[in-house]
């Protein structure tokens, strides 16, 4: 449970549904699948699909010369962070920037820049390396570039934990605020999908139905997590509250129900309005006995999946909740961990 009241005051998204939260929520309301056939050149499997963020135009967010400095993953993060800050009404220059941080989950990071950087080495040795590409080859580039562009000087951390990367970042952001190291944390996930990733999935046979690479997507989902008293003092609109983040590293064989009971404890079916699913949670039979009467939201089935898709899934979850309603977001990686995040819509959870 959160030790102090924490609220969400802003949201931003770039997804296969479009740019911004409006097309994201429209796709969810209409049940619109945002997939397209994978080009034959990228896959040996027939019928493979992907869900690229085709509506994203970096020129809408920064000049072309500046955009060239960033990998596509960083461009997503910068754009979604800017939307979330604007939605939260956060005038960064009027606040203590050392108290505003960022925690992002990231899966593959700047693979395109990594590919180009390494090609130079393999073709020409050290002389072929391009120094300006290197900063964008690491998974923490999106968080770092977003913090620089938006002048954030608080804690800065990137979590890479497979399909629970964004949820791990949320837990870290919660702790930073509770420990008094920040008043506001930008939190969520970011990922990109590139031809080289898809060729790798294809070579491993992972583009078949049910494979890890089938229906892969890209984009960024961002939440502005804030101390409730800080949000109230600046007159912010409250979009929802973060009540609890629970996690377990492993569900041992034969004790799956016990493990899930631990992280889902304290919230019963009649209290819940929504259960959202991310990562591989949607296909795991262990969840079948939990909340059978509660509506479920599987954003991956509509928008595609990625290692840091939890950012978009949590954004959609929060915006779907009615005022005061309780919802649980469940995420899982194949080998663990599992996360259960409890949100409340619109109203503050405590006085």
Please state whether the predicted TM-score (pTM) of the whole model is above 0.85. Answer: yes
H-type helices in 100-203, by residue range?
111-124, 141-149, 165-178, 195-203
pLDDT given for residue 349 in this prediction: 40
Neighbours of 254 (CB within 10 A): 7
pLDDT at 267: 77
Find out whether 319 and 294 touch, Cβ atoms under 8 Å: no
- Which pLDDT belongs to residue 348? 52
Mean pLDDT by 10 residues, the chain (351 residues): 90 98 97 90 78 96 91 95 97 94 91 82 85 82 96 96 95 96 97 87 78 84 97 95 94 86 83 91 85 92 93 97 95 91 76 39
- Asked whether 105 and 168 are in contact (CB, 8 A), the reply is yes
Taken in order of first residue, the domains within the chain and their CATH numbers are 6-233 (3.40.47.10), 243-345 (3.40.47.10)
Q: How far is CA 333 from CA 51, 108, 117, 251, in A?
A: 20, 15, 30, 11
């Amino acid at each position: 449970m959160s030790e102090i009241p924490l609220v969400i005051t802003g949201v931003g998204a770039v997804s296969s549904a479009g740019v911004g939260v409006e097309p994201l929520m429209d796709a969810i309301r209409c049940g619109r699948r945002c997939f397209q056939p994978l080009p034959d050149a990228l896959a040996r499997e027939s019928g493979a699909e992907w869900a690229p963020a085709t509506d994203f135009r970096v020129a809408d967010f920064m000049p072309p010369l500046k955009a060239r400095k960033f990998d596509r993953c960083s461009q997503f993060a910068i754009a979604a962070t800017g939307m979330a800050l604007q939605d939260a009404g956060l005038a960064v220059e009027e606040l203590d920037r050392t108290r505003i941080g960022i925690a992002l989950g990231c899966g593959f990071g700047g693979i395109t820049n990594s590919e180009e950087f390494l090609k130079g080495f393999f073709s020409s040795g050290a002389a072929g390396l391009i120094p300006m590409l290197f900063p964008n080859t690491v998974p923490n580039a999106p968080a770092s570039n977003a913090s620089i562009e938006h002048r954030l000087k608080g804690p800065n951390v990137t979590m890479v934990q497979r399909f629970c990367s964004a949820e791990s970042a949320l837990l870290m952001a919660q702790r930073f605020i509770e420990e008094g190291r920040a008043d506001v944390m930008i939190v969520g996930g970011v990922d990109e999908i590139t031809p080289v990733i898809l060729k790798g999935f294809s070579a491993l046979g992972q583009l078949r139905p049910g494979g890890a690479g089938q229906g892969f997507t890209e984009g960024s989902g961002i939440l502005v997590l804030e101390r409730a008293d800080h949000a109230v003092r600046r007159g912010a609109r409250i979009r929802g509250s973060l009540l609890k983040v629970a996690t377990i590293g492993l569900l041992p064989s034969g004790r799956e129900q016990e493990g899930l009971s631990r992280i889902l404890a304290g919230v019963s079916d009649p209290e819940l309005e929504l259960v959202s699913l991310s990562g591989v949670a949607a296909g795991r039979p262990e969840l079948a006995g939990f909340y059978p009467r509660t509506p479920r939201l599987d954003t991956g089935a509509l928008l595609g999946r990625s290692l840091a898709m939890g950012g978009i899934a949590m954004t959609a979850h929060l915006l779907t909740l009615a005022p005061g309603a309780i919802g649980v977001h469940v995420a899982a990686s194949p080998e663990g961990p599992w996360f259960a995040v409890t949100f409340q819509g619109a109203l503050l959870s405590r006085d």
